[in-house]
Structure 1
């Protein structure tokens, strides 16, 4: 899967295209909070490109402003990482560095991931933005297996009330792709509330899977029969909870 395929699927107007290289030092200066972060930028990032700027007069979607944030545009960027570099922290640093909500395409060893995160005005520093919540990042499927997602992610399919609604629409669409990795089927949520509920259930599923893996590891190391039985009972209970959550996600995706 290439970043170009996602850009085609977005269906952005030609007037929004930027195609400008972003120096790594800007990411290090504006996004990196520590010396370790700056080293990671220098050692792990190959290049960053500003692909498009989605401004109100270019896409006919109004800007947004409330007590917490002002969205004057949505930025589309790509980041290419060097071999063996993990994307998680570097993607977060880029979202922190750019004072606009960003659609970030990160190319690395496993493929291309798409990440998003709301931002808001900092309460402590004037003219500075901070992340508002966690970064949502999902590995993109190839075009053959992700046709429903690539149709749903188009600019024209998102809410058009304002730039906040537009960006939230993309967040919900990518969240539905995240759910599809658990259910095996992509289907957009019908409401914001449903999207939030499905996202929460998905996180619970992942926590339970991690818990089950930890319990199994502990059970394998245990030498006392009684404690092995206790671990197996905990595993069985966690598996039952996991199956119930998976059924819930599948029903909401049906």
Structure 2
């Protein structure tokens, strides 16, 4: 059973409870050999849990020049227990591959998706707004980057995680139209990520949190790249220059974290 079904209060009319064969994703998404191997090695099951439509939740469609939010899906992916290895609290050796799975699934299904990935009693939530591709109207484009929460032990939620789960309950989602419906979930992920980074409640708007979060994410990538260069560099002077550069990025990150904390 998908763990998400135990923690979300969703109307019975929205239940789909249908398994999506991995082969179907392989063929429709035209996966390469490497991505097929990731799916085969790590995924136990892809389950279509809920389908929110105009008929079953009485939410209006949202259609403009860029977006068609006519329904929202909730997909849960269960990982193979023996093929995923925990290396620290909320951190897995295969995290990059797991994020790759999320990326493929969210691009493969042409609807806004509430995506959860499950490992034992832990869940990770993914969110992204989409728009129609100008090059191919049958395809969608992810706006910005796919956001995700930390791994949550559902049996031992902390205050930040408990607040997030409360925000995404069905009764707390905006039911004006499907864009606002999905955006309630998207904003809850943004607020969660900001609170995790700040170590507590953040008293900023969702737009401000998202801007800081994106800037910190870019800095983290730059720091990671420089640290890799440092580990491979043998020249002392070049290594010193790289260390100075990394230190400058870390200072910028600290300033952004302080802004997030309101300091």
TM-score, reference length from structure 1:
0.81
Number of the residue aligned with 1:155: 170
SS for the counterpart of 2:254 is: helix
**Aligned pair partner of 1:185 in 178, 182, 200:** 200
Asked if 1:34 is matched to 2:6, the reply is no
Q: How many residues matched?
A: 245
Once the 2 structures are TM-superposed, how far is the Cα of residue 74 of structure 1 from its aligned partner?
A: 0.5
User: 1:56-111: CA deviations, max 9, x gaps?
Assistant: 22222111111122222100111112323531111111112212111111124893
Give, in whole Å, the separation in 2 of the partners of 1:162 and 1:108. Answer: 32
Whether the 8 Å contact between 1:49 and 1:78 is mirrored in structure 2 is yes
For 1:36-185, list aligned pairs within 5 A.
36-82=34-80, 83-84=83-84, 85=94, 86-108=97-119, 111-143=122-154, 144-145=157-158, 146-185=161-200
Structure 1 residues 238, 91: closer, same or farther in 2, change over 3 A? closer
Whether the 8 Å contact between 1:102 and 1:116 is mirrored in structure 2 is yes
Once the 2 structures are TM-superposed, how far is the Cα of residue 135 of structure 1 from its aligned partner?
A: 1.6
Whether the 8 Å contact between 1:15 and 1:58 is mirrored in structure 2 is yes
TM-score, reference length from structure 2:
0.78
SS for the counterpart of 2:45 is: strand
Once the 2 structures are TM-superposed, how far is the Cα of residue 148 of structure 1 from its aligned partner?
A: 1.4
Whether the 8 Å contact between 2:45 and 2:78 is mirrored in structure 1 is yes
Whether the 8 Å contact between 1:172 and 1:188 is mirrored in structure 2 is no
SS for the counterpart of 2:262 is: helix
Whether the 8 Å contact between 1:63 and 1:71 is mirrored in structure 2 is yes
Stretches of structure 2 lacking an aligned partner (at least 5 in a row): 85-93
For 1:204-215, list aligned pairs within 5 A.
204-212=215-223, 214=226
**160-169 or 108-117, which deviates more:** 108-117
SS for the counterpart of 2:76 is: strand
Give, in whole Å, the separation in 2 of the partners of 1:53 and 1:201. Answer: 33
Aligned-residue CA RMSD (Å): 3.1
Once the 2 structures are TM-superposed, how far is the Cα of residue 188 of structure 1 from its aligned partner?
A: 8.2
Stretches of structure 1 lacking an aligned partner (at least 5 in a row): none
**32-41 or 195-204, which deviates more:** 32-41
Give, in whole Å, the separation in 2 of the partners of 1:76 and 1:151. Answer: 17
Structure 1 residues 98, 220: closer, same or farther in 2, change over 3 A? closer
